[in-house]
Structure 1
């Protein structure tokens, strides 16, 4: 399988481990409405491979939604954020985009990785 031009990696910084089994959805803004274009679940390394193909990846505004509440509940931990949405602009769909999420029950940080 060809590598997705859009990838993600979630790290549970509270415990120092990858965040496995987190549901992820990808939506694109079309005509002022969000349209889901992909969904998946992070693997044991906190990654969600194969979200999109280069044919389905076009320039535009995207949103990744991470179901963090279910993740923390599975670890029997409380959290402040029921979900996290990261909105970003794809200006050149020929490039690779990596959305990294550093996660703890009461904070998060994100950046465009490589």
Structure 2
């Protein structure tokens, strides 16, 4: 069985990003909306079953970056990834700043 979590950190401020909107698109096209908690983490996906396939995780970063830093080059960041059958837990962190971002498979 697969599970998914994420964590968003503002590298310019050195802090987690709370209340950031996330949108998960599952292999069958279902869209699940969520947001980060006060520590910038998200693992609440409305009882989504994480079957094998391609997923897209959209982070809506623009409003946060403009409010915090006065500008943002990116309106959102999309991270596409593939989950295998019964792969276990997957963690998708996102590091953001007004003019850059980075993501990787975490643990």
User: How do 1:1-114 and structure 2 match up within 5 A?
Assistant: 5-30=3-28, 34-36=29-31, 38-51=32-45, 53=47, 56-75=49-68, 77-114=70-107
TM-score by length of 2: 0.89
TM-score (norm 1): 0.84
> 1:75 Cα deviation (Å)?
2.0
Structure 1 vs Structure 2 CA RMSD: 1.8
Paired residues, number: 106
- Distance (whole Å) between structure 1 residues aligned to residue 93 and residue 14 of structure 2: 15
Deviation at 1:28, TM superposition (A): 1.7
Contact preservation (8 Å) 2:69, 2:98: no
Structure 2: stretches of 5+ with no match in the other structure = none
SS in 2 for 1:74: helix
